[in-house]
């Protein structure tokens, strides 16, 4: 199950999600993989805390576990 917004990441990356026009956004929330078109979502990772964020088209971003990152985006974690 994806992780609810409030339980994902750190104050820093949550602030960037809730304030879309903050400067340096691309440096804090990095796009990590090609979009998953089946899920219509993009995978991001917080540069500060390392949390994985799934950003669905038109819906609230949610946290993903490492297992979900591998399952949905094919990214292996050590």
Residues that bind Zn ion (CB under 5 A): 9-10, 13, 46, 48-49, 51
> Least distance (Å) from Zn ion to the CB of residue 46?
3
CB closer to Zn ion, 9 vs 72? 9
DSSP β-ladder status, 62-64 and 52-56: antiparallel
Q: What are phi and psi of 72, to 5 degrees?
A: -85, -30
CB closer to Zn ion, 25 vs 48? 48
Degrees (nearest 5) of the Cα angle 2, 74, 58? 45
How far is residue 70's CA from residue 74's CA, in Å, rounded to a whole number? 4
CB closer to Zn ion, 31 vs 40? 31
> Least distance (Å) from Zn ion to the CB of residue 48?
5
């Amino acid at each position: 199950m994806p992780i609810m917004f409030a339980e994902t990441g750190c104050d820093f990356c949550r602030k960037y999600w809730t304030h879309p026009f903050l400067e340096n956004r691309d440096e804090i929330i990095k796009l990590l993989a090609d979009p998953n078109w089946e899920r219509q979502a993009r995978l991001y990772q917080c540069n500060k805390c390392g949390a994985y964020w799934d950003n669905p088209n038109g819906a609230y971003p949610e946290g993903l576990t490492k297992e979900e990152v591998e399952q949905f985006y094919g990214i292996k974690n050590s």
